[in-house]
């Protein structure tokens, strides 16, 4: 097949080719699988995006684009544009992206399926305060839409109203996003990958092991723990294939598949969960079209299920092709 890997570039200058490592990994893998592969990197120029697609005429876009221009939710309109152009692509469409990216709206869909999520309040700069009821401190305050732990730090955990309102104001002004205040869920953290459409299957859960985390600090994957390789938080966390009794693994996987379905995720995604001491499983968020880098939790989980990287990438292509045929 003729496949174009679509990705976001930090700057308009396409000659920089400063791609995220996942882009070349996916492109190389697709080539090795026998496809004719091109890469299209765009920053925020719609005309260039359209021209690039017209020139390449892909039968399928492998969509790795996560934002567009300055818009962190730019993947939504880009998926819509692909629909308008009649271009087929892997992963979610605009509507599915919208549902899972709005973490407050997501909870309302999870509620219908009787899935547990942290109780919450939304502080939006543009509309009324919204809450499902009384919340118990401490609260965890994060942006309602951003991902990759943007806006998540040590300050995210607040224990009084003054700290809460400070974080809310910072999220409004620094990230131009609504603030989501959630009850803090103490417990083990799991990432569960899911693959499929009509028949969605969960991969083996990956646990975020906080055992090396700095003493006395709340165990959360803040932006340091995720990205700052020199920090104690980064060094103190590692993702491992979870060691669990079969029954508990099955429960985590069922919650993940139910959440994936509830949010209409297509092809592949990852569900972030917390498990409390009393055995309750909370959905923290659903990542539609999650990160596919070779050492990512998703690829690790696939490998644990016997799907090596080439087979995982091929599986995503096949899911998208079959879905588009229907
Ligand atoms: N309600 C919560 N209770 C406990 N920890 C949380 C809560 N919400 C988020 N976290 C911590 O913050 C991290 C990032 O939050 P998440 O909602 O997954 O956002 P992101 O989209 O940035 O990954 C989680 O992996 C978890 O460690
Ligand atoms: Mg997350």
Domain ranges of the chain: 2-89, 119-183, 186-205+242-325
Tokens of 68: 């567009």
Q: By percentage, how much of the chain surpasses pLDDT 90?
A: 85
Cβ neighbors of 153 (< 8 A, separation 6 or more) are: 222, 223, 224
Does domain 186-205+242-325 fall under CATH 3.40.50.300? My reply is no
**Nearest Cα to Cα of residue 121 among 111, 131, 112, 106:** 131
Q: Which two tokens stand for residue 246?
A: 């079969």
Helices (H), the chain: 21-32, 46-56, 75-85, 94-101, 103-112, 161-175, 223-227, 232-235, 246-262, 297-304, 309-325
Write out the two tokens for 256. Answer: 């993940």
Pocket of ligand 1, beta carbon within 6 A: 118, 140, 142, 147-149, 152, 182, 184-185, 189, 220-221, 272, 274, 284-285
Residue 205 DSSP SS3: coil
Q: What is the pLDDT of residues 203-221, one digit of tens each?
A: 999 999 999 999 988 899 9
- Cβ atoms of residues 193 and 290 within 8 Å: yes
Task: Please tell me the pTM assigned to this model.
Answer: 0.95
Q: How many Å apart are CA 248 and CA 38, to the nearest integer?
A: 43
Distance from CA of residue 269 to its chain's centroid? 7
Residue 293 makes CB contacts below 8 A (sequence gap 6+) with 20, 21, 22, 25, 299
> What architecture is domain 2-89?
3-Layer(aba) Sandwich (3.40)
**What is the whole-number distance in angstroms between the Cα of residue 273 and the centre of ligand 1?**
9
Q: Which residues neighbour 291 within 8 Å (Cβ) at sequence distance 6 or greater?
A: 22, 298
129 vs 8, higher pLDDT: 8
- Counting ligand 1 atoms within 8 A of each CB, the residue from 149, 180, 289 with the most, and so the one to mutate, is 149
pLDDT in tens, 103-146: 999 999 999 999 999 999 999 988 777 776 789 999 999 998 88
Instruction: Output the residue whose Cα is nearest ligand 1's atom 22.
Output: 149
* Ligand 1 atom, smallest distance to 189 CA: 27
Structure tokens at 291: 């990160």
Å from CA of 144 to ligand 2 middle: 12
Tokens at residue 183, please? 């009850």
- Using the atom order of ligand 1, give the atom closest to the CA of residue 151: 22
pLDDT(15) > 70: no
């Amino acid at each position: 097949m003729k496949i174009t890997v679509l990705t976001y570039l930090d700057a308009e200058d396409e000659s920089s080719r400063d791609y995220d490592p996942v882009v070349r990994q996916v492109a190389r893998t697709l080539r090795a699988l026998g496809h004719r592969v091109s890469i299209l990197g765009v920053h925020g120029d719609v005309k260039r995006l359209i021209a690039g697609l017209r020139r390449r005429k892909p039968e399928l876009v492998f969509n790795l684009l996560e934002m567009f221009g300055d818009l962190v939710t730019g993947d939504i309109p880009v998926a819509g544009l692909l629909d308008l152009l009649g271009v087929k692509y892997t992963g979610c469409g605009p509507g599915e992206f919208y549902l899972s990216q709005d973490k407050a709206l997501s909870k309302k869909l999870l509620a219908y399926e009787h899935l547990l999520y942290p109780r919450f309040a939304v502080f939006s700069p543009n509309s009324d305060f919204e809450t499902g009821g009384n919340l118990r401190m401490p609260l965890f305050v994060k942006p309602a839409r951003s991902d990759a732990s943007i806006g998540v730090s040590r300050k995210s955990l607040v224990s009084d109203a003054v700290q809460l309102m400070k974080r809310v104001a910072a999220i409004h002004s620094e990230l131009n996003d609504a603030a989501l205040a959630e009850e803090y869920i103490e417990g083990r953290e799991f990432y569960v990958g899911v693959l499929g459409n009509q028949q969605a299957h969960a991969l083996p859960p990956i646990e975020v092991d906080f055992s090396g985390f700095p003493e006395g600090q709340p165990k959360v994957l803040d932006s340091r723990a995720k990205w700052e390789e020199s920090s104690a938080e980064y060094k103190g966390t590692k993702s491992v294939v979870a060691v669990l009794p079969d029954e508990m693994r099955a429960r985590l996987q069922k919650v993940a598949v139910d959440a994936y379905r509830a949010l209409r995720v297509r092809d592949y995604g990852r569900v972030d969960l917390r498990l409390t001491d009393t055995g309750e499983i909370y959905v923290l968020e659903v990542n539609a079209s999650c990160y596919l880098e070779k050492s990512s939790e998703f690829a690790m989980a696939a490998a644990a299920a016997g799907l090596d990287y080439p087979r995982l990438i091929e599986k995503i292509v096949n899911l998208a092709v079959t879905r588009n045929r229907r």
